[in-house]
């Protein structure tokens, strides 16, 4: 490296700060509650070749891990050297790097003195992108039924988007909530503009060549740190298994198996033995599998001082059988891909726990509960999507966190007050922790929570995808499993059990109780510290007698 260490430190932190500022701009200017409040989005800075350099660590790990994959699909069709000011790449195709159609990725080139020095990138989950049902089509048999497909493409902001340009009008004509979806895409462009401005300012101060060198060193630093952590693990082979509850059609579990091979400072992750792809939307495209693995490796083996960028992927190779749950063949539907992705995360977590017991963590509830309520009135759709929480797994040192988003999602709680302000066809009547839902152990698993939704209009539709309704988060080192989740509709004197993957027509007056599960406990429950147990009793965190 020819760049002096002080400049390297300043520029690298400035790039990370720019990525975080982009994220703040995105969710503070967003229109939909899932982005504005839930923060289901991510931002980042890429170098001129599309390698991820700096990514927002406050938003969604699952979304940032595949930025480079999607970028390369776009650049293969529209080479970087052909881009001009105002051009941008856009894609939501799940078999070209995007995770599912609801995640639209945008890449904006950053020019300095007429040359491209990098790209700013923003991805957001959109409330509705068309398809066979509002927000969530749980009956889709291929991904075409899940929404509007945007292949790897190049457009221009001035001619194709601004002032009701043709791309904007085309997307708006294919979705049910255009004011929110188009508004959120505008927020993505605003975030990318912030990233471009910050990188340009750095180039003005330090020169473009210096900034490019700093980008390359950031990637190299992450690779060195990840390789050093891998090298500290004893060489060998480590295996683990978990399962998705079912595919929504039968009760048959879908196994997810992994074999980790450590050799020196190289790590190979192989998902041979994982279930074949399924007919429903539980499949995870390979980009999602890559993101899940890298997020787990990064979290377990390094600290917060190591940026999540292209360097992590250079130390890890990942394979999954073609046609499997974690690498399906198109046109398999993939809307609910997070459940399989979380199981991929969990089995890698278990295997790394065998290889490095000091950093072992029990699996948590670790699933995305995609909960969608939609209503059509006076020719206008209203779509509400919420991603619910769950309990984290315990570790050798600490209890699991209570009622937080899973480690791949990192979404925040949507405030009840904001929901009341935005939606009038239902209301929240209860929201609380679930006592006793965390797995018992020397350190207990985190608790899940319960929310109650009262339906106030006729014609409301519930769509849900979730997991761990049947197979709980397992404990570790003698710890107990967490509680499973559930969804129940109270209709007068009738109680209706909703499956973890379901689609239900609701009636005015229905009360939905959606309960998330807890994380696995760690260690023998008999060894739990008496003071910790007393605090749990005092706070009402244990199951009632």
Using one digit for the tens of pLDDT, what is the confidence trace for 311-369? 999 999 999 999 999 999 999 999 999 999 999 999 999 999 999 888 889 999 999 99
Taking the CA atoms of 489, 248, 272 and 105 in sequence, report the sign of the dihedral they define. negative
Of 481, 490, 485, which Cα lies nearest the Cα of 464?
485
Residues across the chain: 545
Residue with tokens 């609910």: 336
Per-residue model confidence as pLDDT tens digits over 358-378: 888 999 999 999 999 999 999
The predicted structure's pLDDT at residue 64: 67
DSSP 302: S
**Residue 1 C-alpha from the chain's centroid:** 35
Q: Is 535 domain-assigned? A: yes
From 224, 243, 271, give the residue that closes a domain: 224
Within a domain: 238: no
What is the overall mean pLDDT for the chain? 95
Q: How far apart are CA 511 and CA 488, in angstroms?
A: 8
With vertex at residue 254, the alpha carbon angle to CA 253 and CA 258, rounded to the nearest 5 degrees, is: 130
Residue 176 lies in a domain: yes
- Domain assignment present for 462: yes
Burial class (CB in 10 A: 0-12, 13-18, 19+), 435: middle
**Residue 397: domain span:** 361-545
Among the listed residues 498, 501, 400, 416, the one whose alpha carbon sits nearest the alpha carbon of residue 451: 416
371 in any annotated domain: yes
| Residues 455 and 512: beta-carbon distance below 8 Å | yes
Classify residue 536: in a domain, yes or no: yes
pLDDT of residue 190: 98
- Residue-wise pLDDT for 450-468, tens only, equals 999 999 999 999 999 999 9
CB 84 within 8 A of CB 50: no
SS3 at position 88? strand
* Mean local confidence (pLDDT), 225-247: 97
Does residue 523 fall inside a structural domain?
yes
Region 405-426 average pLDDT = 91
Would the pLDDT of 545 be above 50? no
**At which residue do the structure tokens 């939905």 appear?**
512
3-state secondary structure 108-136: EEEEECCEEEEEEEEEEECCCCCCCCCCC
Number of other CB atoms surrounding residue 172 within 10 Å: 15
Phi, psi of 256 (to 5 degrees): -125, 120
pLDDT at residue 544, as a whole number: 64
The whole-angstrom separation of Cα 139 and Cα 280 is 7
What is d(CA 347, CA 345) in angstroms, rounded to the nearest whole number?
Answer: 6
Instruction: Decide if 326 is inside a domain.
Output: no
| CA atoms of 191 and 451, how far apart (whole Å) | 33
Q: What is the pLDDT of residues 81-99, one digit of tens each?
A: 999 999 999 999 999 999 9
Last residue of a domain, one of 176, 194, 224: 224
Residue 63: pLDDT over 80: no
- Tell me the sheet residues that pair with 522: 443, 476
Residue-wise pLDDT for 477-501, tens only, equals 999 999 999 999 999 999 999 999 9
Model confidence at 518: pLDDT above 80: yes
Residues 185-210 pLDDT 10s: 999 999 999 999 999 999 999 999 99
Which region among 49-63, 162-176, 292-306, 439-453 has the lowest average model confidence (pLDDT)?
Answer: 49-63
**Bridge partners of 451?**
431, 514
Residue 220, SS3? helix
Number of domains in the chain: 2
Ramachandran area for residue 205 (φ above 0: left; ψ -120 to 50: alpha; else beta): alpha
Region of residue 492 (phi > 0: left; psi between -120 and 50: alpha; otherwise: beta): left
Gap between the Cα atoms of 190 and 35, Å rounded? 14
Q: How many CB atoms lie within 10 A of CB 535?
A: 12
Query: Which DSSP state fits 498?
Result: E
Last residue within a domain, chosen from 224, 250, 282: 224
Is the CB of residue 502 less than 8 Å from the CB of residue 133?
A: no
- What span, in angstroms and rounded, lies between the C-alpha atoms of 387 and 412? 9
């Amino acid at each position: 490296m020819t760049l002096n260490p002080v400049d390297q430190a300043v520029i690298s932190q400035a790039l990370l700060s720019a990525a975080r500022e982009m994220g703040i701009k995105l969710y503070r200017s967003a229109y939909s509650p899932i982005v504005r409040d839930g923060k289901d989005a991510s931002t980042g800075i890429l170098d001129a070749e599309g390698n991820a350099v700096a990514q927002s660590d406050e938003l969604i790990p699952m979304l940032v891990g595949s930025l480079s994959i999607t970028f390369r699909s776009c650049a293969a069709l529209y080479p970087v050297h052909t881009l001009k000011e105002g051009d941008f790449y856009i894609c939501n195709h799940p078999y070209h790097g995007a995770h599912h159609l609801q995640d639209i990725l945008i890449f904006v080139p950053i020019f300095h003195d007429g040359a491209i020095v990098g790209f700013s990138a923003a991805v957001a989950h959109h409330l509705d992108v068309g398809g066979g049902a509002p927000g969530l089509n749980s009956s889709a048999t291929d991904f075409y039924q899940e929404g509007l497909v945007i292949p790897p493409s190049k457009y221009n902001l001035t001619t194709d988007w601004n002032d009701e340009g043709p791309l904007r009008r085309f997307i708006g004509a294919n979705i049910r909530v255009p004011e929110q979806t188009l508004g959120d895409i505008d927020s993505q462009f605003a975030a990318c503009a912030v990233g471009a401005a910050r990188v340009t300012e750095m180039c003005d101060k330090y020169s473009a060549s210096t900034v490019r060198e700093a980008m390359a060193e950031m990637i190299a630093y992450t690779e060195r740190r990840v390789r050093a952590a891998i090298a500290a693990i004893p060489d060998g082979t480590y295996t683990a298994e978990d399962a998705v509850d079912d595919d929504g059609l039968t009760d048959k579990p879908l196994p997810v198996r992994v074999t980790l091979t450590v050799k020196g400072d190289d790590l190979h992750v192989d998902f041979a033995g994982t279930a074949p792809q399924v007919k429903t939307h539980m499949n995870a495209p390979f980009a999602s599998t890559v993101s899940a693995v890298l997020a787990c490796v990064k979290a377990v083996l390094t600290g917060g001082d190591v940026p999540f960028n292209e360097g992590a992927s250079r130390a890890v190779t990942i394979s999954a059988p073609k046609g499997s749950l974690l690498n399906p063949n198109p046109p398999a539907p993939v809307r609910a891909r997070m459940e399989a992705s979380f199981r991929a995360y969990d089995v890698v977590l278990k295997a790394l726990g065998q290889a490095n017991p000091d950093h072992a963590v029990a699996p948590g509830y670790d699933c995305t509960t995609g909960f969608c309520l939609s209503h059509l009135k006076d020719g206008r759709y209203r779509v509400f999507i919420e991603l619910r929480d769950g309990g984290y797994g315990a570790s050798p040192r600490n209890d699991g966190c209570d009622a937080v988003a899973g480690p791949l999602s990192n979404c925040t709680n949507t405030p009840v007050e904001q929901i009341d302000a935005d939606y009038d066809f239902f209301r929240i009547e209860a929201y609380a922790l679930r006592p006793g839902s965390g797995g018992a152990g020397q350190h207990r698993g985190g608790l899940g929570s319960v929310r109650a939704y009262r339906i106030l209009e006729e014609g409301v539709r519930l769509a849900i995808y979730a997991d761990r309704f049947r197979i709980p988060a397992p404990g570790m080192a003698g710890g107990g499993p967490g509680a499973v989740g559930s969804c129940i509709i109270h209709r007068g004197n009738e109680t209706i059990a909703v499956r973890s993957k379901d689609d239900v027509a609701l009636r005015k007056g229905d009360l939905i109780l959606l309960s998330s599960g807890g994380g696995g406990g760690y260690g023998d429950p008999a060894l739990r510290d008496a003071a910790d147990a007393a605090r749990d009793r005092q706070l009402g965190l244990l199951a009632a007698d």
